[in-house]
Copies of this chain bind each other. A is one copy, B any other.
Amino acid sequence: MPKIIDHDEYREELLHQCFDLFAEEGYASLSMRRIADELDVSTGTLYHYFSGKEDLFNQLVELITCRDLFDAKEALKGAKTPDERIDALLRFVEERETYFLNQSFIWMDYYRHQVADRDPDPRLGETLEQYRSGIARILDVRDPELAEFILTVINGWVLQRYFNRGKPPVETLSRMLRRLIHGR
């Protein structure tokens, strides 16, 4: 009779606890020792659940990608008209700005890592692609090009706020987005 622990469930919990760490430190700067300390487990335990640092990171990217897609769907479920969708999306973004930023950092690390590798994991490239297009579909403005562009803008905005220490307020984004969609 083994210890009563749901291996997969615990693995996911560990992943969740890693998110902020990876976002703040970056893949390369974050050591397994540091992770272990922060999660209050031993390094051995980490290697019991993941085959290595890279695997841990890849699984983290996969996990958050799936979860976010789900969350975004939830948030936009009630919104019917394109306008309502934009509003809902804006609120969604605003509420989780920090999270989004962290997510961006993680993705950036992930991509850079993939590009540097000679043999990038193809599965996760797809996951990301799917996420992007998924959000665009959820948004569902008439013009698909426009939909995707809105994402671009949001992405840029989040980053801008990071570099600029939070200065362009949400209202700017809101106003600009409406201007984009309705032309004035």
Report whether over half of chain A's contact residues are helix, strand or loop; otherwise say mixed. helix
Q: How close is A33's CB to chain B, nearest CB, in angstroms?
A: 11
> Does A40 make an interface contact (CB < 8 A)?
no
List chain B residues, Cβ under 8 A from A27.
Answer: 28
List chain B residues, Cβ under 8 A from A4.
Answer: none
B159 touches A159 (CB 8 A): yes
> Does A24 make an interface contact (CB < 8 A)?
yes
Closest to A162 in B: B111
Q: Please, how many angstroms separate the alpha-carbon atoms of A105 and B28 in the complex?
A: 14
> Does A183 make an interface contact (CB < 8 A)?
yes
Closest to A131 in B: B163
A111 touches B24 (CB 8 A): no
List chain B residues, Cβ under 8 A from A156.
Answer: 152-157, 159
A26 touches B28 (CB 8 A): yes
B111 touches A164 (CB 8 A): no
Q: Please, how many angstroms separate the alpha-carbon atoms of A67 and B163 in the complex?
A: 19
A163 touches B132 (CB 8 A): yes
> Does A179 make an interface contact (CB < 8 A)?
yes
B153 touches A152 (CB 8 A): yes
List chain B residues, Cβ under 8 A from A152.
Answer: 153, 156-157, 159-160, 168
Interchain Cβ contacts under 8 Å between A and B, 7 examples: A24-B116, A28-B28, A29-B116, A108-B108, A149-B172, A152-B159, A156-B159
